[in-house]
Amino acid sequence: MKPDRESRGEIGPHYKWIALSNTTLGILMAMLNGSSVLIALPAIFRGIHLNPLDAANFSYLLWILMGYLLVTAVLVVTVGRIGDIFGRVRMYNLGFAIFTAGSIILSLTWSTGAAGAIELIVFRMVQAVGGALLMANSAAILTDAFPVNERGMAMGVNQIAGLAGGFIGLILGGLLAVVDWRWVFLINVPVGLFGTVWAYLQLREVGERHPERIDWLGNITFALGLTALLVGITYGIKPYGSSSMGWSSPFVLAMIIGGIAVLGLFVLVERKVKQPMFNLQLFSVRAFAAGNIAGLLSAIGRGGLQFMLIIWLQGIWLPLHGYSFAQTPLWAGIYMVPLTVGFIIAGPVSGFLADRYGARPFATGGMVLAAVTFALLMSLPADFSYLPFAVVLFLNGIAFGMFSAPNTTGIMNSVPARNRGVASGMRATFQNTGMPLSIGIFFSLMIVGLSSTVPKAMFSGLTTHGVPAALATPLSHLPPVAYLFAAFLGYNPLQSLLGPKVLAALPAADAHALTGRAFFPSLISDPFQHGLAVVLTFSIVMCLIAAAASWLRGGRFVYDEESQG
């Protein structure tokens, strides 16, 4: 059902700015919430009286970290397709309302211990449904609202809000968690209520709608296959038996192999049904296929970087520069601000230029520059000088700002108006799938690097400071993920691993040295640097392949509705 020109005219010339400001607010809220929860996890676990570093509680930590990502990755295509059928604005507005409701019930979590963790996980998944509705439909709403020659600029502003929200959330989460962990969720409520009311009052359906049947079999096989695959990858970083990782676990293997098999079945289903959820014919459009491949590779290359940078800052650099482990989560967010600044500068500028010259030069150049910045990060020592680190982060923000908006605009311009919802959902699926894939790969590569060098260094350091060999041996052979997550969460790893009883039995000077700011960073800095080199090499390869895929998209291309009938 296509809106007539008269109904479009009634909306007025200012409607596009209403659409941009509201969708920007929605993406900002969703991304801000995700990173603020990330940084406030220690306060959240203390609030529900659960130790996230206890081996028995590791699954709760994984699901609170990854559950939101898994749900959004699985749902965005489905809700984008539903938006094409029932209205993108209707689905987007519903997403704002669900996300706000999820924030309210998260702040009201009533249980403690394991029950409290399960409630948080479930309520975060409810919130993720709202986030999926927002992400899947926002790009389609902007594409509907803006003329072709302004879409890149609009996408740039919208995606700046996403990245800026992610890093503002790191700082805001650190500040709010000091007051009360519930504020991390409550801060969304006034923004969400305002945005929901504003969306329902002001946004209009200006895109095409084509009532069709929902592809239930396609939806089910896709959801089951992708969920199984991502759950398997997530649990791959969890220790299994005597192994530091879980890639040999029968559960992990079954989930990954089963997930891939079900996704293969999904492709067969989509080739047979008349009205598929995942329109495979869109991949015959070179600009669409190349843009999505580049987006997936970009997300895999960059997705886990934030975790690595946070561990680098919180576990090594900040303690060596006088910050207590309790302070490091907040200051890690502050010291990563140059990355956001670079993105803010490059995003709208590259989007504006892409409207004129096409996505290829900017998206391709962004990926090449990203590879260069990863190589520069690799060249820095573990205890770096901040200025060159900040410059590299700034250039990395420039690189991904150059890529993001032009790539999204190129994808959305390449599809018919009737398919914009599902195209936006497919784009978001590749991007959101790349994040958990990247985290699993990054942590696995880092753990391999640490496992070969840390045990000997830790055993020597512990016994030198009076820890009995019988206790130092099992501690030195703990899975690296234990102290990586300790550093990531802002805990003093040695204080958490040794515990108050062991520390009390040691001479005061030795206990002070082991739990001081220098011992753990000095212990882990060289092994971390080795692991980081492996991780960043992988990122460089992903970015260069993404650059090649982006170049293959061809010149500027906009789907011509009239010539296609």
| DSSP of 485-529 | HHHHHT--HHHHHHHHHHHHHS-HHHHHHHHSTTHHHHHHHHHHH
Task: With CA atoms as reference, report the closest residue to 359 among 302, 419, 286, 429.
Answer: 286
Q: What's the pLDDT score for residue 80?
A: 80
Q: What is the distance between the terminal CA atoms of the chain, rounded to a whole angstrom?
A: 15
Residue 530: Cβ-neighbour burial (10 angstroms; 0-12, 13-18, 19+): middle
Pick the CATH number of 1-212 from 1.10.3720.10, 1.20.1250.20, 3.30.1160.10, 1.10.1740.10: 1.20.1250.20
Q: What's the pLDDT score for residue 286?
A: 87
User: For residues 557 and 555, what is the distance between their CA atoms, to the nearest angstrom?
Assistant: 6
Strand, coil or helix: 243: strand
Scored b (16 or more CB within 10 A) or e, 85-103 reads: bbbbbbbbbbbbbbbbbbb
Q: Which amino acid is at 141?
A: I
Query: Hey, what are 528's tokens?
Result: 């971390």
Task: With CA atoms as reference, report the closest residue to 294 among 305, 282, 286.
Answer: 286
Q: What's the pLDDT score for residue 121?
A: 92
Q: Cβ neighbours of residue 436 under 8 Å, at least 6 residues apart?
A: 66, 69, 70, 73, 230, 233, 234, 303
**CATH 2.60.200.20: does it fit domain 287-565?**
no
**How many other C-beta atoms lie within 10 A of the C-beta of residue 22?**
23
Task: With CA atoms as reference, report the closest residue to 402 among 356, 358, 351, 355.
Answer: 351
Q: How far is CA 45 from CA 277, 306, 310, in A?
A: 39, 21, 19
Phi and psi of 303, rounded to 5°? -55, -40
Strand, coil or helix: 110: coil
Task: With CA atoms as reference, report the closest residue to 309 among 282, 281, 329.
Answer: 329
Scored b (16 or more CB within 10 A) or e, 431-454 reads: bbbbbbbbbbbbbbbbbbbbbebb
Strand, coil or helix: 92: helix
Q: What's the pLDDT score for residue 530?
A: 82
Stated as kind and residue range, the H or E segment containing 211 is none
User: For residues 79 and 116, what is the distance between their CA atoms, to the nearest angstrom?
Assistant: 29
Task: With CA atoms as reference, report the closest residue to 20 among 188, 148, 152, 138.
Answer: 138
Question: CB–CB of 390/140 below 8 Å?
Answer: no
Q: What's the pLDDT score for residue 386?
A: 94
Q: Cβ neighbours of residue 451 under 8 Å, at least 6 residues apart?
A: 244, 480
- Report residues of the chain scoring pLDDT below 50: 1-9, 563, 565
Q: What's the pLDDT score for residue 559?
A: 57
Task: Please report the DSSP string for 39-54 in residue order.
Answer: HHHHHHHHHTT--TTS
Q: How big is the chain by its Cα radius of gyration, in Å?
A: 24
Question: CB–CB of 155/310 below 8 Å?
Answer: no
Q: What's the pLDDT score for residue 437?
A: 83
Q: What's the pLDDT score for residue 206?
A: 78
Task: With CA atoms as reference, report the closest residue to 464 among 413, 410, 522.
Answer: 522
**How many other C-beta atoms lie within 10 A of the C-beta of residue 12?**
10
How far is Cα of residue 472 from the mean position of the Cα atoms in its chain? 36
